[in-house]
Chains A and B, each alone.
Chain A
Amino acid sequence: MAVASLVLAIIAAVFALLSIIGLGAFTGIIGAIIALVAIILAVKARKVPETKGMGTAALVIGIISLILNLLFFIICVACVGALGAAGAASAAASAGA
């Protein structure tokens, strides 16, 4: 559990880094999901005394990765940006036809 959480937290950190340097349009959302899973596993690892240290490390990396992934790529919840773009595209297509 502890090793898995640490590995996932590091992967999430790499995804956050990719988001920061602008590589990959969808790394943010995937990185955020991986970071959430890493945090869950880290909390479970922290409940076992032998793996508490590794769990805490994974927890810290997971939280930082989650925040960075969200910060750089989530644009709008409950928004119609994509819908607006689709509507505009469909209107343009109708006008063209």
Chain B
Amino acid sequence: MLTYIHLGNLVIGGYGLMIALGLIISVGLGYLLMYRRGLDADDFLMMCCFAALGALAGAKALFLWTVREYVNWSRILSPGYELGLFAPEGFVFLGGFAGGAVFLVLMAKLNHVALRPILENALFVLPLAHAFGRLGCLLGGCCYGIPYDGPLALHFPEGSLPGTEPRFPVQPLSALLLFILALILYLTSRTKHRWLCPWLYAGLYPLMRFMVEFLRGDSIRGIYATLSLSQWLSLALGIGVLALALLLLRSRSQSNA
């Protein structure tokens, strides 16, 4: 299992490498696509940065909430503390998603940037970058699957987080599903129905995450009433999106009548 790449004296974390690759490829593709479609690519880049700042804050906040029993709050600002605010590890995607979305909307309003063309044309960058992140999890040995000894089972090296027990390949599966979601969003963005992109993402991602969570073996993240925190959040997001879609459809049919 490749976890670190050694280049002379330099040591590059596999996860960091995949995140950097994911960012370069996804944001680069989004930038090019916006530019080729005659939209403001610089605005897209700025909104990506705002979303990233919000996502960092949200992902860290949710992580700290899930591990609050273990955190020594007096050391929260200490640089070397592994559960501290500045620790390079410990982020939760759904917290990042919520933080990023809230900050994105807020900053778009403050900077007078139209979010709709960005979401309709370049939303595919989000699952694309996320898919690279999942491949990074595979390299880092985190976010691992349930114990499983069938075909394609993953055998992690001794001393890694999941231990030596064979595991279900949940990280490659998540990455594959996210690549498919990115492809669906990209293909939809090429049609006249590109307004569907945000709805497709907000509907399909929670569904996918809810199902995949049953195959995750890192239950140390917290299980509440048989479901993980991510499953509860996915459920809430899915129901919220469905309710909003129904409400919009109803108001549209009423205005047409």
B225 at the interface (CB under 8 A from A): no
B211 at the interface (CB under 8 A from A): no
Asked if A80 contacts B42 (CB within 8 A), the reply is no
Interchain CA distance A29-B20 in the complex, whole Å: 13
Residue from A24, A85, A87 with most neighbouring chain B CB atoms (10 Å): A85
Asked if B86 contacts A29 (CB within 8 A), the reply is yes
Residues of B contacting A83 with CB < 8 Å? 66-67, 70, 83, 90, 220-221
Which residues 3-53 in B have Cβ within 8 Å of A in the complex?
Answer: 10, 12-13, 15-17, 19-20, 23-24, 42-43, 45-46, 49-50, 52-53
Asked if B89 contacts A82 (CB within 8 A), the reply is yes
Asked if A43 contacts B46 (CB within 8 A), the reply is yes
Number of interface residues of A (CB under 8 A): 38
Residues of B contacting A66 with CB < 8 Å? 23
Residues of B contacting A87 with CB < 8 Å? 70, 220
A-B contact pairs, 14 of them (CB 8 A): A25-B88, A36-B52, A39-B45, A43-B45, A43-B46, A46-B42, A70-B19, A71-B13, A71-B20, A72-B12, A76-B137, A79-B142, A80-B143, A81-B90
* A binding-site residues for B, Cβ under 8 Å: 20, 24-26, 28-30, 32-33, 36-37, 39-40, 43-44, 46-47, 66-67, 70-87, 90
